[in-house]
Chain A
Amino acid sequence: MSPADSARESNSNGQSHDWIELALPRALAFAQSLVRDLSTAEDLVHDCVFRLWQKRDHYDLTKDGQRLLLKSITNAAIDRARRRHLTVTDEGATLGNIPAGDPPVFHRVLLVEMESHLEEALGKLSVNQRAALQLSSLGYSLKEIAESLGVSESNAGVLIHRARHSMAEHLRPYLDQD
């Protein structure tokens, strides 16, 4: 058995790696949405998982791994944006993936178009706003979002509110049709 296989199976703390397997797709998608770059997202997720792993003695990662990982990714993405003084643009905005299924052609075209606008609208948000909105849509509480972003709850609420306003403006034709 290779060291990699051994590492996959368990660690010295007896914690399973299952949480990593389960959390990775969501974490990678979340990171890519924040940094707008697949390769950077992979680097970022890798580093965050590794750092959590190194602190495995302190946390119940089986229970809290995904939550802590998304939190770490949020912090790392915000730090990166601050370090690089990134201005958020719609560079790299691409058509996203349409949910599986076989909707009628018109419906599918509409979904593609709306997905494209959604991606573009997300790209226009600041990293903080994007993280706040996405964590909110994933069901995180205001307190948890505030902790992840390192801001007060009221500031987190403002970030989400502004993000929603911006998104709603961008997507108004689609939302109004609903």
Chain B
Amino acid sequence: MNVNPEQPGRSKASGQHAPLPDVLSLDDLVKQHLDAQAASADVRRLQERLADSLAADTVSHLASPEVPALVPADSNRPVSSKSHGSSRWIRAITTLTVSALVLAAFLLGRFESTVEASPAELLRAAQETHAGPIERVYLVKVERAAFPAPSFALPTEARVTVLGDRFRVEMNRGERRMQWGRDASGTVWMVTHFGRGLQIAPSEAGPGLEQLTDIYSLNLETLLDDVLAHCRLEREDSSPSVHRIVAKAVRPGRGGIVAAEIEVDRETKAIRKLVIERNRPQRWGMKVTFLLTDSQVADESQYSIEGHLPKNASVMTRDFQNDRRREILAAWLGGPADRWVVNDDAKR
């Protein structure tokens, strides 16, 4: 490596801009950051994958002239004696022979692990699948940790229908059947009884409501991004119908994910089952299981409150019957209303 003491670009600072505070310190900071990241990088899994791949390549000795030109052809390239005369034929025959052996080995299943998609590729495929216009229905089971003590009671079972980042939930609260969900604008809606409903704008959502939507929504785009970014993924023994992936957090993510078990349908790449453990230190911990029960063409109207109410039905909002809305929320979900909806007065 050629270390350039001049630090490229440093002398080009334009007079039109404010002077850089301290370019050398900035470079040092970035270097220190990269050094720290490298020092803590856990490369064991990568080493194992590479060892398998390189071993397979050593056995097959496959030449790969079609490999994309990741490195330029003009640098560091010694003249190869293998490009002349008979050695070229020997190489071609060897390649053909070994290729046949590799193909045979492949057919026998010996190299299955190297041709299957990686866990990360499977999760990205699942993300693409769930971005389509198909809604999926999951049975959701919630198991909460005994400590810290739950601040409010949650139904342990619910039925959640998901379409992208929209969802609707059906759950029982005692004798009452609740339907609620989140629409495309992020507004949470709830249907109280025939002809009545309420809405809570994203800016009004209290901490309890944010937690509730976090638990029951299955926003796979965000969730799987979090898993991909913060978890180490391992394949488990798969069945003929699903790929099983186990994810364990290696660093704290935004969703408090500790671990996850994910089953991806081999054919459709939809998430068939998801068990996710979350932990918010000093706040709550829980395990939530999503089990796919149905897939169908989405009825988009069902993801907003209008789809659940007759025409001209009144909907309680911040600007219409706000006090009544707060009372209903407190009665339904328990505890003070501020847990569920934060009004403008409380924000001030």
Point out residues on A near B: beta carbons under 8 Å.
2-8, 11-12, 17, 20-21, 24-26, 28-30, 32-33, 36-40, 42-43, 45-46, 48-55, 57-60, 64, 66-68, 71-72, 75-76, 91-92, 94-100, 114-115, 118-119, 122, 133-134, 136-142, 144-145, 147, 153, 156-161, 164-165, 167-168, 171-172, 175-176, 178
Contact = CB atoms under 8 A, between A and B. Distances in A.
A178 B77 CA distance: 46
14 contacts: A7-B55, A7-B57, A12-B58, A17-B54, A46-B49, A75-B70, A92-B230, A96-B33, A98-B36, A140-B1, A142-B4, A157-B9, A158-B12, A164-B23
**Counting chain B CB atoms within 10 Å of each CB, which of A5, A7, A75, A158 scores highest?**
A7
B27 A137 contact: yes
B43 interface: yes
B104 interface: no
Interface stretch (B118-126, B264-272, B327-335, B338-346): B118-126
Contact of B72 (A20, A36, A53, A147): A147
Interface of B: 1-4, 7-10, 12-14, 17, 20-23, 25-41, 43, 45-59, 61-64, 67-68, 70-72, 75-78, 80, 82, 118-121, 123, 225, 228-233, 250-253
B229 A38 contact: yes
B232 A141 contact: no
A97 B51 contact: no
A7 to B, nearest CB: 4
A42 B41 CA distance: 11
Contacts of A91: 225, 229
A55 B43 contact: no
Contacts of B33: 96, 115, 118-119, 122
Nearest to B119: A39
A64 to B, nearest CB: 5
Contacts of B251: 94-95
Given A7-B51, A37-B229, A30 B34 contact: yes
B22 A50 contact: no
Nearest to A169: B18
Given A11-B58, A38-B250, A157-B9, A92 B229 contact: yes
A24 B47 contact: yes
Contacts of A140: 1-2, 4
Contacts of A7: 51, 54-55, 57-58
B283 to A, nearest CB: 19
Interface of chain A, main secondary structure: helix
A9 to B, nearest CB: 10
B1 A139 contact: yes
A24 B40 CA distance: 12
Given A7-B58, A118-B29, A39 B120 contact: yes
Contact of B57 (A2, A53, A58, A94): A53
A38 B253 CA distance: 12
Contacts of A158: 9, 12
Nearest to A8: B51
Contacts of A114: 29
A29 to B, nearest CB: 4
A140 to B, nearest CB: 7
A43 B72 contact: no
A95 B78 CA distance: 44
In the A-B complex, list the 5 residue pairs whose CB atoms are closest, starting with the nearest.
Answer: A142-B8, A39-B120, A160-B9, A29-B37, A3-B55
A178 B22 contact: yes
A48 B53 CA distance: 12
Contacts of B52: 4
B335 to A, nearest CB: 32
Given A52-B71, A92-B229, A136-B9, 17 more contacts: A4-B48, A6-B55, A17-B54, A24-B46, A24-B50, A26-B41, A29-B34, A38-B230, A55-B67, A71-B70, A96-B36, A136-B27, A139-B2, A142-B4, A164-B10, A164-B26, A168-B20
A57 B82 contact: yes
Contacts of B62: 54
Contact of B76 (A5, A42, A59): A59
A71 B28 CA distance: 21
A111 to B, nearest CB: 10
A90 B51 CA distance: 33
A165 B9 contact: no
Given A3-B55, A37-B229, A54-B57, A46 B4 contact: no
